[in-house]
Amino acid sequence: MSYPIYPDKYKLKEIFSARDLVGYRRKIGRMPSLSAPEGVLFCLERGLPWRLRWRIPVKRAGGMNGDLYALKKPKNKIGIMTGFGGAPVTVEIAEEFAAMGVKCMILMTWGGILQPDLKPGDIVVVDKAIRDVGVSHHYLPPARYIEADMQLADQLMDAIKARGGNSTRGATWTTDAPFRETVEEIRQYQSEGVKTVEMESAGLFTVGQVRNIPTVSVVVGMDSLSEFRWQVPERLDKIMRSLELVYEASLDVLKSR
> 147 φ, ψ to 5°?
-95, 150
The answer as to whether 1 is a domain residue is no
Instruction: Count CB-CB contacts under 10 A for residue 53.
Output: 13
Please write the tens of the pLDDT for every residue from 9-51: 999 999 999 999 999 999 999 999 998 999 999 999 999 999 9
Is position 8 within any domain? Answer: no
10: in domain: no
Check if the beta carbon of residue 221 is closer than 8 Å to that of residue 119: yes
Confidence grade of residue 64 (pLDDT, cut at 50, 70, 90): confident
- How far, in whole angstroms, is CA 88 from its chain's centroid? 12
Domain for residue 231, yes or no? yes
Q: Are 65 and 128 in contact (CB under 8 A)?
A: no
Q: What CATH number should be reported for the domain holding residue 36?
A: 3.40.50.1580
* Domain that includes residue 161, residue range: 15-256
Model pLDDT for residues 136-171, shown as the tens digit of each residue: 999 999 999 999 999 999 999 999 999 999 999 999
Residues above pLDDT 70, as percent of the chain = 99
**pLDDT digits 0-9 by tens, 208-240:** 999 999 999 999 999 999 999 999 999 999 999
| 184: enclosing H helix or E strand | helix 183-191
Cβ contact 120:191 at 8 Å:
no
- Number of separate domains in the chain: 1
Does residue 155 lie within any of the structural domains? yes
How open is the CA angle 149-155-159, to the nearest 5 degrees?
140
